[in-house]
Amino acid sequence: MINVYATYNTIISSLGFSTSENVQNILEGKSGIELQKDTKLSDVPFYASIIQDEKLNQAFSAINTTSEKYTKLEKMMILSLHKTIQASGEKLDDKTGLIISSTKGNIEALDKESPFLEEKAYLTSLGETIQHFFSLKTTPIIVSNACVSGVLAIAVAKRFLQAKKYDKIFVVSGDVLTKFVLSGFNSFKAISEAPCKPFDKNRTGITLGEAACSMLIKTKENKEGVEIIGEASCNDANHISGPSRTGEGLYRSIKKATQEAGEKLKKLDYISAHGTATLFNDEMESIAFHRAALSNVPVNSYKGYYGHTLGSSGLLESILGIESMKRSVLFPSIGFETSGTSYALNVIRENTHKDISAFIKTASGFGGCNTAVIFKK
Amino acid sequence: MKNTVYIKAYCAITNTKMVCNDEVLCEENELDYKSFLKSIYKNYCEVSYPKFFKMDEASKLAFLTAEVLLKNTSMTENEKEDLAIILSNKSASLNTDRDYQNSIQDKNNFYPSPAIFVYTLPNIGIGEICIRHKSYGENAFYITEKFDANLLSTYAQTLLNTNKTNNVLCGWVEVEKGKCSSFFYLLSNTEGELYSEKNINEIYQSI
Amino acid sequence: MEALKKELKENIIEVLNLEDLTIEDVNDDDALFGDGLGLDSIDALELIVMLDKDYGIKLTDPSEGREIFKSVEVLATYITENRTK
C-alpha cells in the first residue's frame, strides 16, 4: 500500500490567519471565544468564536480585488487554500485533486435578507467558485457528512491517493457561524451560556465557532510531512442525534483505524478528541476511549479555543494535533477543571513537553457518524 | 492489486416508479411523490417502523430504497453489520433546509424546529439506514452535480480492495422542488453481475 | 379542560408525525415517553417548541419537560395553570 503524508497546511480562524499564529495563541492560553452581540445572529448575546470581517477582507484584498463577489465562507476557504498552495510551491496539474469539506456551506444564502443569490446555498456552487478561483483542472470532490466532514476529508484523500486517482490532493474545509445553525443548536438546548467546558463536570453544552483550514496530502514524503497510517469511519446504528450510550461507532472507528495502522503504530501518545462539551457527547467519548483502553492517554479538545467549527473542526484539530506532535508539546484543554465523565480521562491541563510518536484524531456527528484518523511522525 | 467487483442488486425510485433488479415493482401516475413514498412504505416494508413518518422526505427516500434493495438480495447479519454506505446528491439537504429556514425567517414568528433541524444534513438518511439494519460500516456523503458512477465506485473499490468491507451500498438520493429520485446499487467482492462503469450507467439511464 | 386535552392530542399527533395514531388511541393518562407512545428526545424538544408557540410557555431546561410531558392529563393541567396565550 502506498504511504500517504499530511504536509503543508493553513488555519484561518479567530486566533489567526496562519497555522503558526494559531499555535502561538494556543501556547499562550488564548481562546478565540468571546461574547457576541450581533443581533443579526441572535436577539440575545451569546458566546462564539468569530472571524472579524474587517480583518478577513483586508487579508483577502491582498490576493483578490473583487471581494464583494464572495461570501465570507468563500473568502476564508480561498484564503486558506491560497496560502497552502503558495507554501507548497506545487503546480495544479491534472493529477492534483481538491477535496472540499463543509457541513452547511453558504446556508445563509437561503435567508431572504441575504445579499447573495439562493444558488450560492448549493455546495456545488461553492465547489465551482473555489475551482474557478484557482483555475483547477479537476472537478473538486465535495464531502458533507455532518460534524465529521473535516477529518473524513483526510481519510477520503488518503483513499483516493492510494487508489492512484491523484498524485496529490489539497483538502479545504470551512463553515461559518450562521443564524441557521445557532438557532438549530439552541432549539436542541445544546448551546452553553458560558464558553464551553469540554469533559468538565460542569459542562453545559456547545459553543459555536467558524474556521477554514486547508492541507496538502501527498504520496511523497518531505520534511513537512507526517504519515497518515490508519483511518476508519463507523456508524453508531443507534440514534440520528443522540450519541451512542456505548460509544459503539467511535469505538469501532478507533479499533479499525488501529488495525489498519498495524505494526507502523507502536503507541498512541495523544488523542485529539471531539469534546463538544455536551453532556452526552463527552460521556460517549469517555466510554469509547475506555473500551479502546485509551483512558490513560493524554487527551484534549480544542473546542475551548475555537468553539465547534462544524465541518472544519476535524481538519482544524488534526492540524493542531500535527503541530503538537512536531513541537513535542501537549496543548491544554481549555475549560477543563474537574473530571466529569463516567470514565476518567487523562485531560491535558497545561502545556506539557512530551515526545509524541503518533496520535489519533477522532470526531462524531449527527447521523451517528464517527471518524478516527491516526498520524505518525 | 485489484479484486473483482460485482453488482449484487439495485433499486431505484422516482416520483412515479419503483424498479428493483430489472423489475418494475410499482408504477403510479396520479400520486405526488410524498404519497407515493408512503404507499411504498405501506406495501413493501414488512416491518412496522413508526419512525418512518418522522423522517424528512430525503431520508424516507433513502430508507425505502435501501429497504427494498436489501429485501431483494441475500445478506447475512454479519455482512449487514459491516455494510458500507456511500451516498450522493446535488442539493445536500436543501429541501429540508428551506423548511427549517421558514421556521426562523420571520422575526415575529420565530420558532426553530428541532425535529426539522436534525434533518438538515444530507447524511442523516445514511444514519436511518444504519439504525434500521444495524449497520456499523463505513459512511460518506458526497455532493456532485449529477450521478457520478466513477467517483462512487472508485471510493467503493478502495473500501472493497482494502478489506474494510465486502459490501458497499452506493448511490444517489435527491429530493428537491417536488421531485424525488434515487438509485442505489450494492457492490460486492463476492457475487453478482460483473461491475463496470458503463454497465452501471446503462442501468441508471434505463430507469 | 376536555377541549384542551383533545386539542393537545391532535397537536401531538400532528407535530410529532404519529401517523399511525388517532386521538382515540391516546388516553389521557397514557405515558407519552418510554413504553407509552414511545416518544424520544427530539419529540420532547419539539413539544417544548409547541408549548412556546401555542401557549406562550417557555421552558429553558429540557429536564423540566420530564414531569410536564408525563401524560396528556398532566400536560393539560400544566398548560391551564401557566399559559400566557
Chain B closest-CA separation from residue A241 CA (Å): 7
Rounded to whole angstroms, how far apart are CA atoms A324 and A354?
A: 9
Domain boundary among A166, A201, A218: A218
Average pLDDT value for residue range C57-76: 88
- pLDDT reading at B1 higher than 50: no
Q: Please report the domains of chain B, with CATH numbers, ordered by start residue.
A: 6-206 (3.40.47.10)
pLDDT digits (tens, 9 = 90+) for B29-51: 888 999 999 999 999 988 889 89
Please count the structural domains in chain C.
Answer: 1
Helix (H) or strand (E) holding A47: strand A46-49
Which residues of chain C neighbour A240 with C-beta distances below 8 Å?
42
Chain-chain contact of B111 with C52 (C-beta, under 8 angstroms): yes
Residue window 10-69, chain C: list those with CB within 8 Å of chain B. 15-20, 38, 42-43, 45-46, 49, 52-53
Range of the domain at A197: 5-218
Average pLDDT value for residue range B169-198: 96
Question: Do A120 and A84 share a structural domain?
Answer: yes
Q: Is some CB atom of chain A closer than 8 A to the CB atom of B49? A: no
Q: Is some CB atom of chain A closer than 8 A to the CB atom of C63? A: no
Residue window 33-52, chain C: list those with CB within 8 Å of chain A. 40-42, 45, 48-49
Cα distances from B18 to residues B23, B26, B63, B97, in angstroms, run 9, 5, 14, 26
CATH number of the domain that residue A165 is part of? 3.40.47.10
Backbone angles phi, psi at B117, to 5 degrees: -55, -40
> Which among A145, A57, A155, A153 has a CA at the least distance from the CA of A104?
A145
| Among the ranges given (A131-145, A153-167, B61-75, C28-42), the one the predictor scored with the smallest mean pLDDT | C28-42
What are the cell numbers at B75? 445478506
Give the model's pLDDT for residue A221: 75
CA-nearest residue to C62 within chain A is A189
pLDDT digits (tens, 9 = 90+) for B83-138: 999 999 999 999 999 999 999 999 999 999 999 999 999 999 999 999 999 999 99
Burial bucket for residue A296 (CB in 10 Å: 0-12, 13-18, 19+) = exposed
Question: Do A211 and A279 share a structural domain?
Answer: no
Domain boundary among A157, A186, A218: A218
- pLDDT reading at C7 higher than 60: yes
Domain boundary among A218, A244, A272: A218
Question: Do A73 and A191 share a structural domain?
Answer: yes
| Of residues A189, A240, A241, nearest to C62 (C-beta) | A189
Question: Do A207 and A252 share a structural domain?
Answer: no
* DSSP per position, chain B: -----EEEEEEEE-SSEEEETTEEEEE-SSS-HHHHHHHHHHHH--S--GGGGGS-HHHHHHHHHHHHHHHTS---HHHHHT-EEEEEESSTTHHHHHHHHHHHH-GGG----HHHHTT-STTHHHHHHHHHHT----EEEEE-SS--HHHHHHHHHHHHHTTS-SEEEEEEEEEETTEEEEEEEEEESSSSEEP-HHHHHHHHHH-
Give the model's pLDDT for residue C13: 93
CATH number of the domain that residue C21 is part of? 1.10.1200.10
Helix (H) or strand (E) holding A97: strand A96-101
Neighbours of chain A (3+ CB pairs under 8 A): B, C
| Among the ranges given (A121-130, A179-188, C38-47, C61-70), the one the predictor scored with the smallest mean pLDDT | C61-70
Question: Do A204 and A85 share a structural domain?
Answer: yes
Q: Is some CB atom of chain A closer than 8 A to the CB atom of C62? A: yes
Question: Do A213 and A265 share a structural domain?
Answer: no
Range of the domain at C68: 2-82
* Beta partners for residue B87, in sequence order: B141, B171
Which residues of chain C neighbour A189 with C-beta distances below 8 Å?
45, 48, 60-62
Contacts of A91 (CB under 8 A, 6+ apart): none
Give the model's pLDDT for residue B2: 63
Please count the structural domains in chain A.
Answer: 2
- pLDDT reading at C66 higher than 90: no
pLDDT in tens, chain A (377 residues): 899 999 999 999 999 999 999 999 999 999 999 999 999 999 999 999 999 999 999 999 999 988 889 999 999 999 999 999 999 999 999 999 999 999 999 999 999 999 999 999 999 999 999 999 999 999 999 999 999 999 999 999 999 999 999 999 999 999 999 999 999 999 999 999 999 999 999 999 999 999 999 999 999 877 778 999 999 999 999 999 999 999 999 999 999 999 999 999 999 999 999 999 999 999 999 999 999 999 999 999 999 999 999 999 999 999 999 999 999 999 999 999 999 999 999 999 999 999 999 999 999 999 999 999 999 99
Rounded to whole angstroms, how far apart are CA atoms B178 and A365?
A: 29
| Of residues C19, C38, C46, nearest to B115 (C-beta) | C46
For testing contact with chain A, the best of B132, B138, B144 (most A CBs within 10 A) = B138
Q: Is some CB atom of chain C closer than 8 A to the CB atom of B50? A: yes
Q: How many residues are present in chain C?
A: 85
Largest CA distance in chain A: 55
Helix axes B149-161, B197-206, angle to 10 degrees: 130
Residue window 10-29, chain C: list those with CB within 8 Å of chain A. none
Chain-chain contact of B53 with C20 (C-beta, under 8 angstroms): yes
